[in-house]
Structure 1
């Protein structure tokens, strides 16, 4: 059961990295943050606005 939990958590971190890159943010940083915060990081990503390209 622990293994499935870890796989799901890691998958969520990868999804969050993709969402972050879509919002012009660092995918790697959000991946690491998502490993620590999990679903909370997803919620934060939903709330932040897309960063404008310079």
Structure 2
């Protein structure tokens, strides 16, 4: 693996960690969104920001 690919993977992993924090701040599962972010990347960030927080359970 050369330096360009290593930077890409580090950036993608960092984005996944940031998404996990954003998801937890909105009341969602950080682990689930971390895993989704590994697959979807920036699309997951967009979804976290756009989707409404989950409704409170009674």
Give the TM-score range, shorter chain.
over 0.9
**Cα shift at 1:50:** 1.7
1:48 to 48, 51, 56: 51
TM-score of the aligned structures, taking structure 1 as reference length: 0.93
* Structure of greater Rg: 2
Query: Runs (4+) of structure 1 moved beyond 4 Å?
Result: none
Q: CA RMSD, aligned part only?
A: 0.9
Instruction: Identify the match of residue 33 of structure 2 among 10, 30, 33.
Output: 30
Instruction: Classify the secondary structure of the residue corresponding to 2:53.
Output: coil
Query: Please, what TM-score do these two structures have when normalized by structure 2?
Result: 0.87
Structure 1's unaligned 5+ residue stretches are: none
In structure 2, the gaps of 5 or more residues are none
